């Protein structure tokens, strides 16, 4: 079965160049022979049928092992579909659902009763709309400047998708804020790209700390610090007693013991985390009114 699974994966990878050539031919008005279309359809149908059979067999195997229907189905998908493909597909799905939530003006995602949403999207609004304006100008300019039909069609599709991606990414940041739980836990996010959950028991201190890091999103440096900057700055620093593991935007695992992130109102974040620590009965040095830092002693 492993050999069949590898064959299916390589078959899909080999089909991508052929499908791209076919799309370019259709977009450029190049006539395609019916025999070529039939060959492509058959080439796509065969690995899809094999992949479906593999998923069904894996699903039955996981069900026999005692898993419920949903976990068994997810494990079956994970057995056949490579992790980067699953993650990219999930990104596109969450971007689309976030865009629809933003358009329909629904409330923030993942915020329960008693939780405090922490917005960060306003800090990047001007930058994102600036990118969108430049992308629109580029799309219009290239539509007039490129004379070749095939190149024109491909460039137009890519430019339109780029404009949509900018809007959807910003929308996902609006509807997926950071969240402070009623128990003092912290849920850090960056749109549909990043999701980090920090239990309250891991937090030892939090302070207002404006920094201007130059690192990439959630990349851990040699000191165990992960920056989640918005518009090139962070405003809150959270220190942990044990590192927290998470998955970066492209699927690479990482762990950090200090997180620096941007919050529109950092003082309220500090106050909320202080209140969460007090409600859990975990006070410590530095937990004084009016201070910009909170030290919370945790029993381990």
The domain locations on the chain are 2-81, 83-111+121-176, 182-295
- Give how far Cα 36 sits from Cα of 24, 77, 198, Å: 14, 31, 54
What is the side-by-side order of every strand in the sheet holding 234-247?
Answer: 225-228, 253-261, 234-247, 203-211, 293-295
Pick from 10-19, 44-53, 201-210, 248-257: least confident: 10-19
Provide, rounded to the nearest whole percent, the portion of the chain with pLDDT above 90: 34
Question: Between 173 and 39, whose confidence is greater?
Answer: 173
Give the Cβ contact number of residue 184 at 10 Å: 23
Residue 13: which pLDDT band, with cuts at 50, 70 and 90? low
Instruction: Please give the mean pLDDT across all residues of the chain.
Output: 80
Alpha-carbon distance of 45 to 217, in angstroms, equals 39
Q: Which residues have CB under 8 Å from 164's CB, separation 6+? A: 99
Q: What is the pLDDT of residue 15?
A: 58
Q: Rounded to an integer, what distance in angstroms lies between the CA atom of residue 47 and that of residue 98?
A: 32
Does residue 122 register a pLDDT over 70? Answer: yes
Two tokens, residue 260: 């620096």
pLDDT of residue 21: 62
Instruction: Identify the helix (H) or strand (E) that includes residue 170.
Output: helix 149-175
The backbone torsions φ and ψ at residue 253, rounded to the nearest 5 degrees and listed phi first, read -70, 150
- The whole-angstrom distance between residue 3's C-alpha and the CA centroid of its chain comes to 32
pTM for this prediction: 0.73
Q: Which tens digits make up the pLDDT trace of 223-244?
A: 889 999 998 899 999 999 999 9
- What is residue 198's predicted lDDT score, i.e. its pLDDT? 93
For residue 294, the Cα-to-chain-centroid distance in whole angstroms is 29
**pLDDT, tens digit, 9 for 90 and up, residues 141-159:** 988 888 877 778 878 888 9
Inter-residue contact 254 to 248 (CB < 8 Å):
yes
Count of Cβ atoms closer than 10 Å to residue 157 Cβ: 12
Extended beta strands in the chain, E state: 116-118, 178-180, 186-190, 194-198, 203-211, 225-228, 234-247, 253-261, 293-295
d(CA 282, CA 276): 9
Distance, in Å, from the CA atom of 186 to the CA atom of 181, rounded to the nearest integer, reads 6
Residue 213 is classified by DSSP as -
Residue 244 β-bridge partners: 256
DSSP letters of 89-119?
Answer: HHHHHHHHHHHHHHHTTPPPTT--TT-EEE-
Which pLDDT value is given to residue 208? 93
Angle between helix axes 149-175 and 83-103 (nearest 10 degrees) is 70
Residue 56 half-sphere exposure toward CB, CA atoms < 13 A: 6
Give the three-state DSSP class for 230: strand
Distance CA 95, CA 118 (A): 19
* DSSP conformation class of 220: B
Contact 236, 205 (CB under 8 A): no
Which residue do the tokens 């400047």 mark? Answer: 145
């Amino acid at each position: 079965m492993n050999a069949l699974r590898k064959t299916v994966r390589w078959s899909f990878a080999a089909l991508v160049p052929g499908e791209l050539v076919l799309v370019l031919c259709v977009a450029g008005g190049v006539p395609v022979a019916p025999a070529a279309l039939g060959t492509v359809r058959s080439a796509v149908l065969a690995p899809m049928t094999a992949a479906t059979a593999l998923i069904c067999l894996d699903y039955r195997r996981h069900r026999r092992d005692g898993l419920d229907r949903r976990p068994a189905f997810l494990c079956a998908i994970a057995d056949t579909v490579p992790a980067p493909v699953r993650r990219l597909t999930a990104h596109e799905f969450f971007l689309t659902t976030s865009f629809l939530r933003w358009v329909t003006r629904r409330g923030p995602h993942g915020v329960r009763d008693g939780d405090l949403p922490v917005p960060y999207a306003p800090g990047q609004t001007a930058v994102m709309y600036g990118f969108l304006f430049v992308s629109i100008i580029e799309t219009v300019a290239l539509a007039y400047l490129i004379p070749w039909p095939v190149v024109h069609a491909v460039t137009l599709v890519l430019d339109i998708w780029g404009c949509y991606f900018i809007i959807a990414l910003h929308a996902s940041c609006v509807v997926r804020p950071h969240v402070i739980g009623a128990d003092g836990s912290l849920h850090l996010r960056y749109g549909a790209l990043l999701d980090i959950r920090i239990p309250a028991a891991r937090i030892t201190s939090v302070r207002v700390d404006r920094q201007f890091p130059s690192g990439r999103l959630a990349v851990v440096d040699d000191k165990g610090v992960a920056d989640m900057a918005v518009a090139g700055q962070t405003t809150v620093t959270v220190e942990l007693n044990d590192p927290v593991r998470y998955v970066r935007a492209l699927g690479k695992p990482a762990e950090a013991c200090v997180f620096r992130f941007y919050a529109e109102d950092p003082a309220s974040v500090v106050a909320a985390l202080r209140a969460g620590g007090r409600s859990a009965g975990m006070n410590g040095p530095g937990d004084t009114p009016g201070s910009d830092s909170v030290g919370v002693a945790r029993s381990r």
